[in-house]
Amino acid sequence: METEVLVVGAGLAGLNCARILKEKGFKVKVLEANTRIGGRMATDFVDGFTLDHGFQVINPAYPELVANQLVEKLELTPLPKGVEIQIDDRFILLGDPRKSLSYLPGDLSSRTGNPAEKLRFLQFLFQKAPEVDLGTALNGAGDFYRKVIRNFLMGVFLTDPDLVSAVMARELLHWFVKGNPGLPRTGAQALPRALAQNLEIEFDARVTKITESGVQTNDGVRTSEFVVIATDEVFAREILGQAAVDMNSSTTWYHAVELGEIESKHLRLGSSYGVVNTIALSNLVKEYAPSGKTLISTTTLNNQSERGIRSALSRIWQMPESKFQYIKHYEISKSLPKHLPGKPLLSPVKISDRIFAAGDYLAVPSQQGALQSGRLAAEAIIASS
């Protein structure tokens, strides 16, 4: 008889876990509280615009994407490997000089830090990181960290990068150096969609309790031999009776301008006016906006007023406020788990003989971490059965 497994949550962790178990012959059902798959990787299509719930890129170098042979299916358009950063009212372009020599003047400019600071940052990347917070680890990288790297990482960690674990930050930065992250033609949800093929998923099935023989949902009991809790950290801790935690939060704003008004394809780091970063997404993937329009995505950590965001955009993109048409915004109250110094890069997934956990909070908070922990939970069940 097939071994039955219930996977709670159809985010990347749950889907990868379910997919691996199904391939090994287990009878797997995914219970999802929402009406769609993907969890934090969701996409809406509104009036011809493609709106991801948060500016989110996919790194084809992530080992789980390579192992699952997903990279080709995602039709990724790579982002340029550089950023535009505002220093003293001027935008400076800098980035990976191996990709474009146009980054060199910005890389070498003393306005972005002195050579010793830049060298200190390179040393950090290529040495074992200490178990301290990133602010302490990169103290020696002075202005280069404060003015450039820190602003970039604010959009990666969705919190003050000074506070996060230096070991985790170095791990994630490594993937940026190694790969060339991109956007799928049909939005971020292309990744969970590719993983979910042929899986049995029950939507609108909110799990409220783990029982002796399975789980309790909003409309009844489901039984199984194994249960995998593949939800965000807040709910996982609640249902497993562990101490409560907070997660980082962020807001993503979408505006449109007339085609041709903004030509940059680079991520522009705000650092002021409450904006973390802003980018003209449809300059990279034209399908993100209807014809004649350019779609702008802007990330903030707090939920500012729309008027305030438009005023910030006007200053950052140096265009009148009236040119920005508001499309929609997404407040993401649980965007990323907090990964503080001392937390391991991988945490155990086994809770008891029949309960397992998966999710990005058990690994490096990222798509790769979520997929990896889903794989570990599947492998632990395979080993136990």
Ligand X SMILES: Cc1cc2nc3c(=O)[nH]c(=O)nc-3n(C[C@H](O)[C@H](O)[C@H](O)COP(=O)(O)OP(=O)(O)OC[C@H]3O[C@@H](n4cnc5c(N)ncnc54)[C@H](O)[C@@H]3O)c2cc1C
C-alpha distances out from residue 248 to 32, 41, 191, 328, Å = 22, 16, 23, 21
**Interaction of residue 95 with ligand X, rule CB under 6 A:** no
Number of residues interacting with ligand X: please give it, by CB under 6 A: 34
C-alpha distances out from residue 376 to 3, 92, 347, 363, 382, Å = 18, 42, 10, 10, 10
Question: 74 phi and psi, to 5 degrees?
Answer: -85, -10
Q: Which is nearer to ligand X, 80 or 359 (CB)?
A: 359
Applying CB under 6 A, the span of 11-19, 121-129, 310-318, 340-348 interacting with ligand X comes to 11-19
Using CB under 6 A, pick the residue from 132, 174, 235, 350 that binds ligand X. Answer: 235
Applying CB under 6 A, the span of 6-14, 270-278, 307-315, 341-349 interacting with ligand X comes to 6-14
Question: 373 phi and psi, to 5 degrees?
Answer: -70, -30
User: What is the CA 385 to chain-centroid distance, rounded?
Assistant: 33
CB 276, min distance to ligand X, A? 10
Residues 329-348, one symbol each (x = binds ligand X by CB under 6 A, - = not), give ---x--xx------------
How many CB atoms neighbour CB 284 within 10 A? 18
Using CB under 6 A, pick the residue from 5, 6, 7, 8 that binds ligand X. Answer: 8
**Interaction of residue 32 with ligand X, rule CB under 6 A:** yes
Smallest CA-to-CA distance from 329 within 351, 308, 344 is with: 308
Q: Which is nearer to ligand X, 16 or 112 (CB)?
A: 16
**Interaction of residue 10 with ligand X, rule CB under 6 A:** yes
User: Which helix (H) or strand (E) element contains residue 49?
Assistant: strand 49-52
**Interaction of residue 43 with ligand X, rule CB under 6 A:** no
**Interaction of residue 54 with ligand X, rule CB under 6 A:** yes
Residues 181-220, one symbol each (x = binds ligand X by CB under 6 A, - = not), give -------------------------xx-------------
Smallest CA-to-CA distance from 360 within 347, 368, 369, 351 is with: 369
**Interaction of residue 297 with ligand X, rule CB under 6 A:** no
The HSE-up count of residue 330 (CA atoms within 13 Å, CB side) is: 19
Smallest CA-to-CA distance from 160 within 146, 150, 172 is with: 150
**Interaction of residue 13 with ligand X, rule CB under 6 A:** yes
Q: How far apart are CA 308 and CA 385, in angstroms?
A: 56
CB 220, min distance to ligand X, A? 13
**Interaction of residue 251 with ligand X, rule CB under 6 A:** no
CB 374, min distance to ligand X, A? 7
Cβ proximity of 360 and 370 under 8 Å: yes
Those residues with Cβ within 8 angstroms of residue 72's Cβ, 6 or more apart along the chain or in another chain: none
Applying CB under 6 A, the span of 28-36, 133-141, 259-267, 338-346 interacting with ligand X comes to 28-36
Applying CB under 6 A, the span of 127-135, 272-280, 347-355, 363-371 interacting with ligand X comes to 363-371
**Interaction of residue 6 with ligand X, rule CB under 6 A:** no
Q: How far apart are CA 35 and CA 372, in angstroms?
A: 24
Residues that bind ligand X (CB under 6 A): 8-14, 31-34, 39-41, 54, 56-57, 206-207, 230-232, 235, 250, 332, 335-336, 359-360, 365-368, 370
